[in-house]
Amino acid sequence: MNMSGQSFSVGGTPADRRIAHLDMDAFYASVELLRRPDLRGLPVIVGGGRDSGQGADYRGRGVVTTASYEARAFGLRSGMPLMRALAMCPDAVRLPTDFDEYRRVSRLFKHAIAQIAAVIEDRGIDEVYVDLTAVPGVEIEGGAAVAREIKHEVFAATSLTCSIGIAPNKLLAKIASELAKPDGITVVEAGDIPARIWPLPVGRINGIGPKATEKLAHLGVRTVGELAALPLARLVEAFGPTYGPWMHEAALGHDDRPIVTSRPALSRADRMRMSYSPTVYCASMVTPRLRARSAAASLCIESITPLLGAATARGGAQGSGSKYSTRRGAV
């Protein structure tokens, strides 16, 4: 039961399902540091072209593609304009992007994972979801033992570290992978949600961006737990019949989405719609559980279908950890 008197369950996914989210640590910067070990320990940012200059001499309209952890200590983040980043940290070393090399290393780490777990959903150049449910040994330490094996193989193939979150579903695994970065393993069970997930800022939920976070703050909601406690009707009123119920389910840790091992190619326009439209993004995450709950609340979830248009027709639907949280070599 939540603070408003509503009754609900958390983590509505079979507990024996083991889903991992693997995220390479500061991937582009880490790849560059393999070629420039002399820059280790220095604030390094990746972005822009080869002839755009360094520090105060930089001239360009590029953005930070990634930043080393030393650079992040100065407040530098991915997506920040390079000129602003270099003004904030004049001593940062800017390296130009080399996507051919990043793709090469990406193939290496994904091949290494496939030697242990074959069911992989590719989520981009530096992250994947992996279904560990049928992998031998996954029952040990909630899957942490298998995660250590994966991390070992990835490091052997690339000399790079990664962080892995393990949970009963993709939504929780994604959150978990960020809780012990860099080079960590975090296992989150359904029973951990109130203590481990609810104290986190709502922005930790993949799909709740800055605008939604700001709107939730106006409703007095800043943490995942406060979002879970907010009556569903208020979320529907504020965010509509698709995004509102999805937020409610996400705050409870509910996510029935399967691992998608392949999908038809999207056009560039469709990729942009899926990336930047909260309605389309979250409609792609509507599950049978959410449809049932929404129908019971007399919400017309089926009205989202026209919003997906050609994108779904061609592209398909798209704090600390538990006692198993660890960093490399510690578990």
Distance of CA 58 to the CA centre of its chain: 31
Is 127 designated active site? yes
The two tokens of residue 253 are 């840790």
What are the φ and ψ backbone dihedral angles of 257, each rounded to 5 degrees? -60, 140
289 three-state secondary structure = helix
CA distances from 12 to 133, 190, 256, 296 (A): 16, 8, 8, 17
Could you give the CA distance from residue 161 to residue 98 in angstroms, rounded to a whole number?
19
Closest alpha carbon to 292 in 318, 238, 256: 256
As a three-state string, the secondary structure of 81-149 is EHHHHHHHCCCCEEECCCHHHHHHHHHHHHHHHHCCCCCEEECCCCEEEEECCCCCCCCHHHHHHHHHH
- Are the C-beta atoms of 129 and 19 separated by less than 8 Å? yes
Three-class DSSP category at 22 = strand
Backbone torsion region of residue 137, taken as left when φ is above 0, otherwise alpha when ψ lies between -120 and 50, otherwise beta? left
Angle at Cα 11 formed by Cα 248 and Cα 327, nearest 5°? 115
Out of 32, 70, 121, 127, the active site residue is: 127
Catalytic positions, written as ranges: 127
